[in-house]
Chain A
Amino acid sequence: MRAKAGAFTIALIIGMLFMAWGPVSAQEDVVEIVFWHMEQPPHRVERIQQLIDEFNEAHPNIHVSQEPQNWAEIYAKAPAAVAAGNAPDLLFAIPDFTPIIRQVGAVQPVDDFVAEMDEAHGFFPSAVEPYTYDGHVWAVPLWNMAHSLWYHVDMFEEAGIEPPETWDEWLAAVEALTDEEAGVYGIGLPANRHLYTDQTVYDFMINAGAFELYNEDGTLRFDNPDTVEALDFYSQLYQYSPPDSPNWTWGEAEACFVSRTCAMILQFTVIKSYEDQGEGDPENLGVIPIPHAADLEESGTIAYPNAVMLLTDDPDKQEAAYEWLRFLLEPENYGRFLNMEPGLFLPVTEDGSEAESYWSDPLVVEYEAQIRVMLENSQNGMLFGFTGGNIFPSIAQISAQNLLAQTLQRVVIDGEAPADAVAWGQEQMIEAIEAAEE
């Protein structure tokens, strides 16, 4: 018995070692491209797979495959994979993520390719800018996302409210729409220590004029009266937000809006959920730019140009990867690519934003008016740490720790005065930057 068990254990271990060598693949003439993205919901994966299949069909000597990952884990997983030599050839990115992977030393400059694509399709400069620093372009932009203020048209009409443009109007509208007896909240604002909260806080900062996090010399200017004003106003609106807002992510906010529990929310889009899980009436779905403080002329919003980084240093693989990206950015494919989540991902090329393949999606047709507004809002989009042409990669450390959200929590959860919280926030940011420079 004991001998058997021992022999079995040994056999098992040997078996394991053999398993390890299993997937050593064959054909040498086919270039394998593995790319990781973080668009894990099944329907998005499915759409990308369709495009991959078409591409592989047309390119017998290239084989592209996708491995969907999760944003929540990728910050730990990607550097570990790079360090261990398990990195993919292409890896999707948001501006904050690129500096992290660059520090692991894996990101290849893509200046020439981006120039080529710019020539062919016309990149919006705001999409390339956040990936341009230290003398190179570090990723190929693929789509943009920007926040807007979403509201229920009929709720506004019943209360006799016009869509707000300034903060005073906004606060008045939120107050008027809140009816806690009936379980209706004027607005849903997150206070979680989460990227979503970072984003909404920055929406308020932009619209208070505090969009720059850095001075030109790279020192921080987070601690300024405009930021304080933004946080103060956030906390005023926050009183009208549902009690579970402290652990919200995007999904809860959307559910709150779509179920008509929240009259308004700030989100990239609500179209898909509104159509599938809500009333689905395009006439009743309002979308406007985020209101701004009285002393500003126009509204701004947070925008995330998403991109893809090239990690492989093998020239053959690089060329194959470029071929795949050329295919994706081709207007006839690009629209279908973006519409893996219709009404969420906005085009970043000129010919893409007019592409038939983009505008012909049934959901896009139905909500075209809303998407036009989203596109327009995205033109005034900015991203903290990537404004004014001065990009300091240390922003990655600041956003990884959700310091904007943490600062907000001190105000709305702990009841600290906004000015003190902002001063605390700046201290934390300085510490984070020092850590990055160590």
Chain B
Amino acid sequence: MTGVNFYRVRRTLGVWIPVIVLMFVVIAPFYWIFTGSIKAPQEIIQRVPTLFPQSFTLQHYDKLFSSSDFPQYLLNSTIVAALTMIVTLLLATPAAYSLYRLRFPGRDLIFKVILVTYAFPGILLLIPLYTMLTHIHLVDTLWALVIINVTFASPFAVWLMEAFFKAVPHELEEAAALDGADRATILARVMLPLIAPGLGSIAIYAFITSWTEYMFASVVIISDVNRTVPVGLAGIIGQYQVDWGLLLAGATITTLPVLMLFALVGRHFVEGLTAGAVK
């Protein structure tokens, strides 16, 4: 008996407390934002904060949707993120295949060069990129953001694919080759199903990278109809005055779509990353 109890206590201390602390650190701020967004304005900024809402109102959401273009911002962010995701997949997957499955001179160097692109400060690129986008008439279009986001997402995405490509045994490919399949068929029939979880992970990674981008979107997008969520949200803060309820409602709504996305595919992101391991 005592042995079991001891085991339980140890297990509680060793497993559950760390898990609870961890989840608290990550999730508590979101609880605070969400409950804030349904409190009456007076309660939000009250000197003694209330851990549980004492009032309930949807007025902030009502205002958010009636007087701002938030649905438009959400749509724009979704379009940009989806396109970023597609282009990243199209660029990163072949590159990863090449870097991790084929052998050719300079391969290692190319891989390192791709990673090292992160060495250049975004701010450094901001102005020349803006000028360049102007020349090709892409300023104030969603494509401009796609172009930039793909640049930031794809190098890391290439690397995320490493584990998957390396996990596919060469024998499989060789066996298929012995059966007379050409390389394209091998890729489509043998490789693709095996790396699919990985593709899922980098798709989500690219989506999130795009969804959270702020700096470029704030400069490259001029008109309200093309604004993305982070920039739209920053606009609510406004000069001279802050409507805290509106801001918290905006923050909640900004979080919600990625939350839903993650509820649906989050498992695949994490499992996808680990799947490379399970040979």
> Is B169 interfacial (CB-CB < 8 Å)?
no
Establish whether residues B235 and A70, one from each chain, have CB atoms under 8 Å apart when the complex forms.
yes
The chain A residue sitting closest to B48, CB to CB, is: A183
The chain A residue sitting closest to B41, CB to CB, is: A277
Rounded to whole Å, the gap between the CB of B127 and the closest CB of chain A is 7
Establish whether residues B235 and A68, one from each chain, have CB atoms under 8 Å apart when the complex forms.
yes
> Is B174 interfacial (CB-CB < 8 Å)?
no
B230-265 contacts to A (CB < 8 Å): 231, 234-246
Secondary structure call for the A interface: helix
Q: A80-B127, A85-B134 are in contact. Are A273 and B241 (CB under 8 A)?
A: yes
> Is B94 interfacial (CB-CB < 8 Å)?
yes
Rounded to whole Å, the gap between the CB of B226 and the closest CB of chain A is 10
| Chain A CB within 10 Å, residue with most, of B67, B68, B138, B241 | B241
**What band does the interface of chain A fall in when counting residues whose beta carbon is under 8 Å from B?**
35 or more
| Chain B 51-81 near chain A by CB (<8 Å), digits 1 or 0 | 0000000000001100110000000000000
Q: A43-B67, A250-B242 are in contact. Are A77 and B219 (CB under 8 A)?
A: yes
For A1, list chain B residues within 8 Å (CB): 184, 187-188, 192
**What band does the interface of chain B fall in when counting residues whose beta carbon is under 8 Å from A?**
35 or more
Instruction: Give the segment of B19-27, B108-116, B139-147, B154-162 that binds chain A.
Output: B139-147
| Chain A 11-54 near chain B by CB (<8 Å), digits 1 or 0 | 01000110111100000000000000011111111100000000
For A268, list chain B residues within 8 Å (CB): 240
Rounded to whole Å, the gap between the CB of A402 and the closest CB of chain B is 15
Establish whether residues B184 and A86, one from each chain, have CB atoms under 8 Å apart when the complex forms.
no
Cross-interface CB contact of B137 among A21, A250, A259, A344, cutoff 8 Å? A21
Rounded to whole Å, the gap between the CB of A150 and the closest CB of chain B is 13
Rounded to whole Å, the gap between the CB of B23 and the closest CB of chain A is 27
Rounded to whole Å, the gap between the CB of A109 and the closest CB of chain B is 25
> Is B5 interfacial (CB-CB < 8 Å)?
no
Secondary structure call for the B interface: helix
| Chain A CB within 10 Å, residue with most, of B45, B140, B219, B231 | B45
Q: A68-B224, A277-B41 are in contact. Are A84 and B47 (CB under 8 A)?
A: no
A3 to B184, alpha carbons, bound, how many Å? 9
A85 to B234, alpha carbons, bound, how many Å? 25
| Chain A 172-188 near chain B by CB (<8 Å), digits 1 or 0 | 00000000000110000
Establish whether residues A86 and B139, one from each chain, have CB atoms under 8 Å apart when the complex forms.
yes
Cross-interface CB contact of A42 among B41, B68, B141, B234, cutoff 8 Å? B68
| Chain A CB within 10 Å, residue with most, of B47, B94, B131 | B47
| Chain A 374-414 near chain B by CB (<8 Å), digits 1 or 0 | 00000000000000000000000000000000000000000
Q: A40-B235, A40-B238 are in contact. Are A277 and B244 (CB under 8 A)?
A: yes
> Is A261 interfacial (CB-CB < 8 Å)?
yes
| Chain B 148-188 near chain A by CB (<8 Å), digits 1 or 0 | 00000000000000000000000000000000000010011
- 9 nearest A-B pairs in the assembled complex, by CB-CB distance: A251-B242, A42-B68, A84-B134, A42-B67, A20-B137, A277-B41, A40-B235, A41-B238, A259-B45
Given A2-B184, A21-B137, A81-B222, 13 further pairs, Cβ under 8 A: A1-B192, A38-B239, A40-B236, A68-B235, A86-B134, A86-B139, A145-B240, A255-B45, A255-B242, A259-B46, A276-B41, A277-B244, A277-B245
A interface, CB within 8 angstroms of B: 1-3, 5, 8-9, 12, 16-17, 19-22, 38-46, 67-73, 76-77, 80-81, 83-86, 145, 183-184, 249-252, 254-255, 258-261, 267-269, 272-273, 276-279, 341, 344
A sample of 12 cross-chain residue pairs with beta-carbon separation below 8 angstroms, ordered by A number, consists of A2-B94, A16-B138, A17-B136, A41-B241, A42-B63, A43-B63, A45-B67, A73-B218, A254-B242, A255-B242, A277-B41, A277-B45
